Structure formats: C-alpha cells, structure tokens
Structure 1
Amino acid sequence: MTERPGKGRASGPPEGTSTVRREPGGAHPRRHRLAKVAGLTVAGLVLTAAGAGFAFYEHLNGNLSIFSGAGIASSRPPDGPSDGSGSRPVNLLLLGSDSRAGGNDALGGGEPGPGNSDTAILLHVYADHRHAVAVSIPRDSLVDIPPCLLPTGRWTAPQHNQMFNSAFSVGASQGGNPACSQNTVEAMTGLRVNHTVVIDFKGFATMTSAVGGVPVCVPNDVNGFGIHLKKGRQVVSGQTALDYVRARHGIGDGSDIGRMKRQQAFLAALAKKIQDKGFDLTALLPLSDAATKSLTVDPDLGTAMKLAVFVQSLRSIKLSDVSFVTAPWRYAGDRVALVHPDVDTLWTLLRQDRTLNGQNTGQIDPPTAVAAAASPTDPTVAVTVLNGSATPGLSLRGVSELKAQGYQDVVASTEGTEHAVTTIGYTTGHRADAEQLAQHFPGAALSATAEAATPLTVTLGADYAATAAPTAAAEATGSSAPSPSPTGLPSGIAQNTRPGDADPCAGLVY
C-alpha cells in the first residue's frame, strides 16, 4: 500500500518504485491475478477431468460387444402391464457363455469350439422397480426352439424337445447365438425379453476381483477336474470364484441343479457386496471396465451410457425384495423336463407382473383396482368367451367370473383356437371396453377385429388355464373339488425358491 503524503515530503513515489493503481472499490491487482490463475487452473482441471471422463466413456464403449438384432424374432410377446403410472416390468436374460475364444480357454479349460449357455437366468424386474424375481432355467431342460437366424442369413426350422442350452449354439458361432436363446425364452414363457446380456469366463473372474471377492459357502472339499476348493465359508475371487460357480462334479450332489443353487447364492452375495460399497466410484470404475470387457449385449444396451442407465434403474431393489427360483423341473432320463402346470403358473404370474404368491407389488392401490374392476365401462356390452386351451370347461369358468364382476350378456363357446396368452378382441368403438375387460385378465393381449358376433371376444389361453384348470375341470364334469387359493404357491415353485437375502450356506446341496 502507498504511504500517505506527509508534510515536507514529495507526493510522488520514491525513486525506483512503481506506482500501484487500484480502481475505486476494486480488488487488489495481485489478488486479481491470483484469482485469474486459480480460475484457469480449476477450469483446466475440470476440462482435464471431463476429457478423462470422456476418454474413459469411449474406452467402455470400445469394450462392449453387441450382437445383431436381425436374429430377434419379428413376432414377439407384448410388453408387460403398466402399473398405472406408465412404468412397466423389464425382463433381462442373463447368459453365461462357456466359449473358450478370446483367451477364455486359460480359465475354462477344454477345447475351442462353439459356445454354450451353461448359465441362463431370466430376471423379471417388476413395474415398481423395487422388486425382482430371478428364474434359473436348467441348461438341460427339454424345450422347443423356434426358428433362429444362422450366420449364412438362413432361418432354421423349429426344433422340438431340444436341450435349452443348444439354442445358444445354433449356427456354431464362437460367440454363440444370443438372439436364438432370447427367441426360445420368449416362445417358452410368453414374456417379452427386453434385454439380453452374455458374460464370458474372463469377465466374470475379473468382476469378482474388482469388488474384492465374494463370500461363499463350499459344502465339501473339491479336488478334481482341475478345481480345488476348501470346505466352509470363504471369500473367493478370480479363478477360484469361477471354479465355484462352474464346478459340478465332486461338489454337492454333482448335479446341474445343485450348481444352479450355488450360482443363485453367489449372485445374491455379489449383489450385496456391490450394494454395501454404496456404488463408490473407486469400486465402480474398475468394475465397469471389467464388466464391459466381458459383455455381449443387445443393440438397446449397446453403449456404456445405455448400460449405465439400465443399471441405475435397478438401484432401488433391495436384496430382501429379490427372489431366486429354479423353473419347476424333474429328471427325464439324463435330461430335465419342466413340470406342468407349475411352470405355466410361474410364467403366468410374471406375465401378470405378480409376485410368486399371486400378489401385486403394492404400486397400485388395491382398493382402487378392485373398485375399477367391479365397475365395467358398460355392463351391458356383450362378451363371448372362447376356450383357447385344451382344458375342458375353461370358457364356463370365464363366463362365471365375468358375471360375478357385473357383466350381464356373456356367452361361452368352445370354438377357440389354441392361444398361449389370453387375447381380447374388440370391434370398432369398443377399445375402452376391451381395456376395462382386460383388468380381469392381467397380461391379456388386445386385438382389433373387423367382425365378430359380439363387441368383445375373450379367447382364454394357456396362461389362464394354468391357474384356473382344476376348478374349470371340476365345473365341466360336475364333480366337487376345492377351489385353488388365489395366493397359493405351487409346490414346484415353493420348493425351488431362494430368498435373495438368505444365508450363503442355506439351501445348498451337501
């Protein structure tokens, strides 16, 4: 600061000094320069960080592999029902590939060749995005494989009674055929698969290391087939984690079903480990790098941003609100047969976006839903009910239910063609009536019809038959049979269900 002029002193600065000038009320020039430098430094840091972030984003994009959507069937099930706020359920098919390509032979052993889907899990995220069910599909399940696209551009003929995991190897591609597996699941379940993700050996092993290992429970010492595991609780990662989820011989009962139970326990423990980290950035960066390097995804998840948005949508799901279930099964020689009608009931519940005990997830206020169902838009509108299944008496059951809900002009007919999913046809001007009627048949598809005997036609499909068959058959034959509880859980589902927050040692085969 300049000295104030005194008596007998010159008012100018001493010789050899410079004048310090300040605008009235302005900042000190030195501070101004410091602020400017600091500002440029911060701006530089921000730009550097942004550049690094963009570079990392581009790096993640480069990691991802995307399978062609050309092989996805053109005729597909409809989206799941809305929860009233516009939100719908999401179905994700997760496939574990045993392909030895790309260096995976060092981890998985074996000879190079077409990949198989040794692990298949259908994750149903309910419309409230707070609950989920993960369904394990046994790889040896005997299923029908619909037409699938080959690398040559030709579509295959439908295949009957084939092992489920053979769908992934259609075309003998090193990367497998995820679209064929997706088509097979959609045809089998009547559920629309919104996304399909394939993960390989290397990625799985690296992801487990990125989170610092996963706690597991090994039922017995394992020493064989190149796998070495010690009995008891432990934390595994990398190759050891891969061995744990892949081992079949020499551990537990040696079955693929036992292996699926361990996989379910492992995935629950992995999810808990990630949630416990609170999505910490230091954990997510190496995890996201490891994950994207190992994933092959459908086109709708084809960028790191799309993948991140999808993962973000799952953050509100607590482990206690996740159920793991193995599709109801039984041995059929050296293969596995899915048990009917239990498995049909499972698919129906998911198509209707209901929990395994037949309830909704609480997103829609039950009294409001009941009130709406009890008050049709027009109770005098005529409805024809057709039986679109092999179950006798199903149309009579449908008529009875609709009359109980207030519909007055309802008739039954047995002349229905077979349908997997219940369909409601409507003539011109009756779309609103059809939507109201659909509340009594959750998951039903709507279809406009040019001409019909009545404005509304309900064709009851296999989904409706799976839940109403016992009572329908009793009504058709005149026999007395107890009505099934609407919240009853078939034994084939109950015996194969594992809570997401169960102890890692619970339910494993010793």
Structure 2
Amino acid sequence: MSDTRPTSRAKPKPKRSTKQKVLWVTAGCTALLVLAGGAVYYRLNSNITTFDGDALSKDRPEAAAPDAQGRTPVNVLMIGSDSRGNGNSDLGGGGDDGARSDTAILLHVYADHKHAVGISIPRDSLVNLPPCKLPNGKWTKEQTNVMFNSAFSVGNTDQGNPACTQNAVEKLTNLRVDHTIVVDFSGFAAMTSAVGGVEVCLPNDIHEGDLNPNLGHKGKLVFAKGRQKVSGQAALDYVRVRHGIGDGSDIGRTKRQQAFLSSLIKEVKSKGMDPTTLLPLADAATKSLTVDPDLGSAAKLMSFAMSIKDVDLHNIKFLTAPWRYEGPRVALVHPDVDQLWAALKADRTIDGQDASAQSPAATDSAAPSAAPTAEATPTPAADAKNAEIKVAVLNSTGESGLGSKGAEAVKGAGYTVTTVGNAAGKPRSTTVVEYGTGERTAAESVAKLFPGATVQPGGRGLSVVLGHDFAAANPASAAASAPGAPGAPAPLPTSVSGTARSADDDPCANVSYG
C-alpha cells in the first residue's frame, strides 16, 4: 500500500531587509568599538602605577580657591627619572644607589586654561628637605641645605620617591601640587617614537665622547650641528647631553629640555589634541608612568590632557627658577624666586596678567592710549634669516616689566633674544639700538620695531636699550602688576620674566648656557 501522505516542505525563511542588515552591522561594529575602547582603557589603566598617597606631607599648602567663574588653576609636578628598573639600564639609567630625578618641572596651568608656564627647578639647587616617608614606613628628619634631586632618592629604591619630591616642591614654593607625574627613560623614548619624532637643534656637533666623558676620546659623530628630528634613544641622548655645549652645565641641559618639550607640544598639537592622537601617546607613556593616586586612571589622564588642549603655543612658557652658582652647586636667588612663586599663587602670568580675572569688556579695548604700543607697531616680516640675528634687550628706565615687553616685540619679528636685563648707566630718554662691526643693517631693521629709536655703534653684538619713550608707549607693562594694586604680588624682575621661552619659539634659540 502506497503512502499517500503529502511530503512536508521547509518553510522559506523570511528575507532580512537591507535596513535590518545595516542595523545589525552597525550594532556589531558599535559593540566591537566599545569592547576595543574598553580594552584600550583597561590596558592603559593596567599600565599606570601610582605612588603611596599616605607619603605626602600632612602639612600641605591650601588648594587654590575657585575664581568667580568656578575655575581653578592646576599645578602639576613633572619628574624625569633615571631609574634602572623596567629596562632603563639599557638606556643609560641610574646607578647602584636607586633612582634619581634628572628633571623636575612644575607646570602651572592658569585658571583660564588659556595660559601655562613650566618652571624648571635645577637638580643641584640647595633646598631644605621636609620629612619624607621611607619604604619601611618610618619618616626621615628634616634636612637643610641639601641638593633638590636628593628628595627623589630618599629610600634608595628603583622606583624613586616621588612623594618626597612633591613634599619638597610644596615646601619650597608654598604652592599646592595637585598632581605628580613621573616618566622614566623607556617611557620618554617610547613617547617620542609614538609622535613620529621631535624637531631639535644643536649649536655645534656632538660626539660620543660628549655623551660619555669617560670614553677617553672624541668618538663618532652622534648629532650634527643644526636642525634634525629625533626619537627613541636619540631623543633621550639629546635631552641628557651636557658636555660639548656651552659650559657643560645642568643649566644648559635644562634649556635644551625646555626647547624639546616645546617642540613635543608643537608636534602633538599639530596632529590634533584628540583621542586619536593622544591614545597612542598615552599607551606609550603609561607603560613607564608613575602618578599620584588622584590621577591614577586613563580617563583622568585623558581628561587632564584634553582640558589644556586650547592653550595657544605662544601662551605656553618655560623658564628656570632664578638661580646662581654657589661653588659646584646652585643657589636659588631671593627675593626673585619668592616673587615667582607668589605670582603663580596669585594666578598671575609672568608678564603680570591676572589669569583668574574675567576677559576685559569690549569697551576696554577701545580705551585711548597715549602712544602706539609695541604690539600695535607694524613689524617687518619675520623670515628665517631673522632667527640668526641675536639681540639683547636692556631696560634703562628702572620700571618693571619693560624688558619683557621689549623682548616680546623682538621675538615677534623672528629675532633671537639672548639676554633680557637692566642697562648700566643713566636712564635713556629715547630707545637706542647699539650695534657692533658689520651689524648696522640689522640694527636698523630692529630699530623699526621701536618708533623713534636711534641707531648707534657700541660694543659687540646688537643691543636694544629701552628708554622712557618706550615706557610712555607701554604704561600697562608697569601698571599690570603694580605693587599698590589690591592683592597683587610684587612684579617679577625682568631677569625672570624676560628669560621665558614660548612653545612656539625657534628650536635653535636659547638651547645652551655659557
């Protein structure tokens, strides 16, 4: 008997619309991106090491109060460590007595987040060191007149003692350090590679014997004179070289470190301050990063980086705390250095502006002035040749802030400012540009920056000697930080304010000392 039951047929599956496919693909891609992003942040978080917050002093300066708009300045201590750990010995790190701090820069980000200044503290500076916590939990006694970089070595560990260095900086400056970041050699080298290299400049050739004085002979050429791009080990060698340039001091090396950081910031900003740029940089950095507990996550690090992305290169300044030699060591100069810390505590820029104040009203910009200011004066077009012309700016009037103002005008035209200071002799009624043999043409060009200035021979090199005519044309220079203004700190001497480097300065300018 035959089977007459109908055969079953599989029902056809309904077709998915193109729209549904797109939705599924989009959802899948989004999920992958979220997972990838989570994986990146997990990796960054796992990279980061934090130091013991209980090792910070209990007697700390007060945190800065918010301004009228609820904004606060931020102080970040950046330390370069020569630790031998984490593979750093292969890059030239440390000795047998634990890690040391090769570099220490206190970065003050102003409340307006439109200005920032990095103050280098020479590692050989003689300071008073407050009590610091040892690895065994005990605290040291206060030490007087010791080298600043000895703070990082307290406890003699491969990781160093960043909390002790932060304690020392807070004691020295009376400023609350909000965050501390330590980068070792391998992290620094990786960061420079992550951005594709950094442009640097050297005034003369550097050989192996300059990097290693114990070599006993000149050795091979390591860096040729002039501009070049460096990354990895070469970048590390550049910021560490002392010998063969200037007087071979750590002060000269500090100037090259400031020039390098300026170029690094310029390189990062040129690529765009966004996660696409910052994440690879963060990945490279965090593998060798130690931070304070309050900055111990990728999200917090990224948030801080993004918070300063709108600071213009010209408004990022670097300078060295006022210093002088004291035998083989360095003494900080008082009261100049005290005035610098007071200016930062009041959130005043180094040229006397109050960064916590609200932007001036539009009507203020229309206020009449007695004479054209340096900024209002048309300047000759800056070209590459201008950078080769070195100019000293000297203030003969005795009024604070004028030297810095004159130096800004000279820098703005592309010239290289070598010195900012006070002129010897009697005050000048008019500004004079003095020149040496064969420099008259250059002197006449520089004089165009200062209406009414005269040109005359005198000594070696080019010098702008500012007179009372320049003071009359720039009354705000002296008034902006007038000692009589309520709550205003004493104005910074031009020996401090006039030596600042802007992040947009020529990388070949001011890279050595002596």
TM-score normalised by the chain length of structure 1: 0.69
One-letter identity of the residue aligned with 2:109? V
Give yes or no for contact 1:216–1:233 (8 Å, CA) kept in 2: yes
One-letter identity of the residue aligned with 1:496? T
Say which SS state the counterpart of residue 102 (structure 1) adopts: coil
Please name the residue that 1:175 is paired with.
159
One-letter identity of the residue aligned with 2:186? K
Separation of aligned partners in 1, 2:194 and 2:310: 22
Query: Does 2:505 align with 1:502?
Result: yes
Please name the residue that 1:355 is paired with.
349
One-letter identity of the residue aligned with 2:245? I
Separation of aligned partners in 2, 1:509 and 1:57: 40
Please name the residue that 2:47 is paired with.
63
Percent of paired sites with the same residue: 57
Map 1:364-379 to 2 at 5 A. 364=358
Please name the residue that 2:124 is paired with.
140
Please name the residue that 2:335 is paired with.
341
The equivalent position to 1:94 in structure 2, one of 61, 72, 78, is 78
Please name the residue that 1:124 is paired with.
108
Map 1:183-194 to 2 at 5 A. 183-194=167-178
Separation of aligned partners in 1, 2:117 and 2:500: 10
Please name the residue that 2:263 is paired with.
269
The equivalent position to 2:309 in structure 1, one of 310, 315, 321, is 315
User: Structure 1 residues 153 and 281 mapped into 2: Cα distance closer, same or farther (>3 Å)?
Assistant: closer
One-letter identity of the residue aligned with 1:236? V
One-letter identity of the residue aligned with 1:489? L
User: Structure 1 residues 240 and 37 mapped into 2: Cα distance closer, same or farther (>3 Å)?
Assistant: same
Deviation at 1:284, TM superposition (A): 2.9
Equivalent pairs counted in the alignment come to 377
Say which SS state the counterpart of residue 304 (structure 2) adopts: helix
Which entry has the higher C-alpha Rg, 1 or 2? Answer: 1
Please name the residue that 2:99 is paired with.
115
Q: After alignment, is 44-53 or 320-329 more displaced?
A: 44-53
Give yes or no for contact 1:81–1:353 (8 Å, CA) kept in 2: no
Give yes or no for contact 1:132–1:323 (8 Å, CA) kept in 2: yes
User: Structure 1 residues 20 and 165 mapped into 2: Cα distance closer, same or farther (>3 Å)?
Assistant: closer
Aligned residues: CA RMSD: 2.8
Mark the runs of 5 or more structure 2 residues left unpaired by the alignment: 1-8, 213-221, 362-480
Query: Does 2:213 align with 1:229?
Result: no
Separation of aligned partners in 1, 2:147 and 2:172: 13
One-letter identity of the residue aligned with 1:316? D
Q: Deviations over 1:433-485 (max 9, x none)?
A: xxxxxxxxxxxxxxxxxxxxxxxxxxxxxxxxxx999x9xxxxxxxxxxxxx9
Deviation at 1:494, TM superposition (A): 3.2
Please name the residue that 2:150 is paired with.
166
Deviation at 1:496, TM superposition (A): 3.3
Separation of aligned partners in 2, 1:66 and 1:269: 28
The equivalent position to 1:241 in structure 2, one of 218, 224, 235, is 235
Deviation at 1:229, TM superposition (A): 1.6
The equivalent position to 1:327 in structure 2, one of 295, 298, 321, is 321
Separation of aligned partners in 1, 2:58 and 2:234: 41
Separation of aligned partners in 2, 1:119 and 1:81: 29
Q: Deviations over 1:21-51 (max 9, x none)?
A: 9xxxxxxx6453x433332222122111211
Give yes or no for contact 2:204–2:224 (8 Å, CA) kept in 1: yes
Deviation at 1:364, TM superposition (A): 2.2
The equivalent position to 2:89 in structure 1, one of 86, 90, 105, is 105
Please name the residue that 2:495 is paired with.
492
The equivalent position to 2:246 in structure 1, one of 248, 252, 256, is 252
- Which runs of at least 4 in structure 1 moved beyond 6 Å after TM superposition? 17-21
Please name the residue that 1:154 is paired with.
138
Give yes or no for contact 1:358–1:486 (8 Å, CA) kept in 2: no
Deviation at 1:487, TM superposition (A): 7.7
One-letter identity of the residue aligned with 2:57? A
Give yes or no for contact 1:77–1:192 (8 Å, CA) kept in 2: yes
Separation of aligned partners in 2, 1:234 and 1:145: 40
Say which SS state the counterpart of residue 509 (structure 1) adopts: coil
Say which SS state the counterpart of residue 21 (structure 2) adopts: helix
Separation of aligned partners in 2, 1:290 and 1:324: 24
User: Structure 1 residues 19 and 133 mapped into 2: Cα distance closer, same or farther (>3 Å)?
Assistant: closer
Please name the residue that 2:67 is paired with.
83
User: Structure 1 residues 146 and 37 mapped into 2: Cα distance closer, same or farther (>3 Å)?
Assistant: same
User: Structure 1 residues 285 and 88 mapped into 2: Cα distance closer, same or farther (>3 Å)?
Assistant: closer
Q: Deviations over 1:240-282 (max 9, x none)?
A: 0000001112233211110000000100100000000013555
Q: After alignment, is 222-231 or 266-275 more displaced?
A: 222-231
Give yes or no for contact 2:482–2:490 (8 Å, CA) kept in 1: no
Q: After alignment, is 298-307 or 227-236 more displaced?
A: 227-236
Please name the residue that 1:478 is paired with.
none
Please name the residue that 2:406 is paired with.
none
Separation of aligned partners in 1, 2:151 and 2:94: 20
Give yes or no for contact 1:357–1:487 (8 Å, CA) kept in 2: no
Mark the runs of 5 or more structure 1 residues left unpaired by the alignment: 1-16, 22-28, 368-466, 472-484
